[in-house]
Amino acid sequence: MSKSTPHVTVDAKLLDALTEMVSQAAAAILAFVPSRVATRRKTDQSPVTEADEAADHVIAEGLERLLPGFPTISEERCTDAPALSEYASFALIDPLDGTREFLAGRDEFTVNVAILDRGRPIAGLIAVPARQLLYRAIVGIGAERLRLTPGDGPSRAHDVVPIHCRPAPADGLVAAVSRSHLDQASTDFLARFPNTQLMSVGSSVKFCWLAEGTADLYPRLTPIFAWDIAAGHAVLAAAGGTVLTPQGAELSYGRGPDGDFRVPGFIAWGDKTLLASAPS
């Protein structure tokens, strides 16, 4: 892939089509009963189910129809990921983020699709199937939350609400943290902020909380895969927040030095003014 790789522009029409595709993937997941779904272990011992694979199939077909030939990188097909240059546009997909939560019968698992250009998210969609919610955004345009029955298109949304990050409250922050992967470095970082309340969840819903003004920051100071966070990054950025490396640089996505798609760590911020007073 070279500098001549075509770049995609996400407009309202394409966002609507992507919304319907993600909604259909959400419906595909809900067609399975967690207690009876076939499950296997990947090489890293994380679970993958028929529901993950069904949602991935819906998204793969949808993207090929909407953006023929567009490079896509999915958690479930990452071994076949195309070569990418720093100039590429591509999609990052996590068809079922929070598989453990899905299997446990919790309602917080998500579907994630991000569109990236030159390593930066330009659009993102996150469906929360069991809650009938879908978050979507175009960076530089805005973010919104839809109440949408899985399988329906955006024209049938019950409610559409623009969302924005909130100013950081003076009496203490709310931090979104991982239910299963809260690391010591992140715990130590949060301890530097007095009176911080922790909210735990096992999926990309954490980014949505920041984007809609329910939480203020989300640190993850251990490695994580790019498809887990790129869609959330886009939603948060469009709502007025930012996602940076722990050193404060812009976070970008692509194949890392080890040949995989891991991000070493990040801090997501709702109110950017927190950056000036962030403890070091």
Q: What are the pLDDT digits (tens) for 38-52?
A: 877 766 667 789 999
Q: What is the mean pLDDT of the chain?
A: 90
What's the mean pLDDT in 158-178? Answer: 95
182 against 186, higher pLDDT: 186
Among 3-12, 69-78, 160-169, 194-203, the range scoring the smallest mean pLDDT is 3-12
What's the mean pLDDT in 14-28? Answer: 98
The stretches of the chain forming alpha helices (DSSP H) are: 12-30, 50-66, 99-103, 184-190, 205-211, 226-238, 274-277
Report the SS3 class of residue 12.
Answer: helix
Query: For residues 216 and 275, is the Cβ–Cβ distance under 8 A?
Result: no
What's the mean pLDDT in 220-247? Answer: 95
pLDDT band at 259 (very low <50, low <70, confident <90, very high): low
Cα 279 from Cα 202, distance rounded (Å) = 26
pLDDT band at 257 (very low <50, low <70, confident <90, very high): low
pLDDT at position 198: 95
pLDDT at position 10: 96
4 Cβ contact partners less than 8 Å away, ≥ 6 residues apart:
none
* Phi then psi dihedrals of residue 123, to 5 deg: -155, 150
Token output for 35: 């207690």
Partners of residue 243 on adjacent β-strands: 268
Token output for 110: 């998500």
pLDDT at position 4: 44
Report the SS3 class of residue 157.
Answer: coil
pLDDT band at 203 (very low <50, low <70, confident <90, very high): very high
Residue 58 pLDDT greater than 80, yes or no: yes
253 Cβ contact partners less than 8 Å away, ≥ 6 residues apart:
92, 116, 119, 120, 121, 226, 230, 261, 263
Query: For residues 59 and 95, is the Cβ–Cβ distance under 8 A?
Result: yes
Report the SS3 class of residue 135.
Answer: strand
Instruction: Give the dihedral sign, CA 245/246/247/248.
Output: positive
Cα 169 from Cα 18, distance rounded (Å) = 35
Residue 3 pLDDT greater than 80, yes or no: no
Going along the chain from its start, the domains and CATH numbers come out as 12-163 (3.30.540.10), 174-277 (3.40.190.80)
Global confidence as pTM: 0.93
pLDDT at position 1: 36
